Amino acid sequence: MLERLAAGPLSVGEIARGLPVSRPAVSQHLKVLKQAGLVADQAAGTRRVYHIDPHGLGALRAWLDQFWGGALAAFKDQVEADQEDRR
């Protein structure tokens, strides 16, 4: 759903089109994404139009980025250990 919304705002029906789940299931997923702060919506007549919330996505990215330091350090240590083993 986030991939579809990356192209721009969409209604539930537009998001659900072509997905192997029902529109109510899409609505439930959007509700969870909204509660997580990853998407926002606004009324457009009788429809709700959803878009990615850049603030929520930024917070998620910041949270994920905290793991990169440790992962990169572990990768570096492994590469250096492999180099030592080859000598």
pLDDT of residue 27: 95
* Short-list 69, 38, 34, 75, CA closest to 53: 38
Taking residue 60's Cβ as centre, other Cβ atoms within 10 Å add up to 14
Does residue 86 surpass a pLDDT of 90? no
Structure tokens at 16: 């659900």
Per residue in 55-67, pLDDT (tens digit) is 999 999 898 888 8
pLDDT of residue 87: 81
- End-to-end alpha-carbon separation of the chain, Å? 49
Per residue in 10-42, pLDDT (tens digit) is 999 999 998 999 999 999 999 999 999 999 999
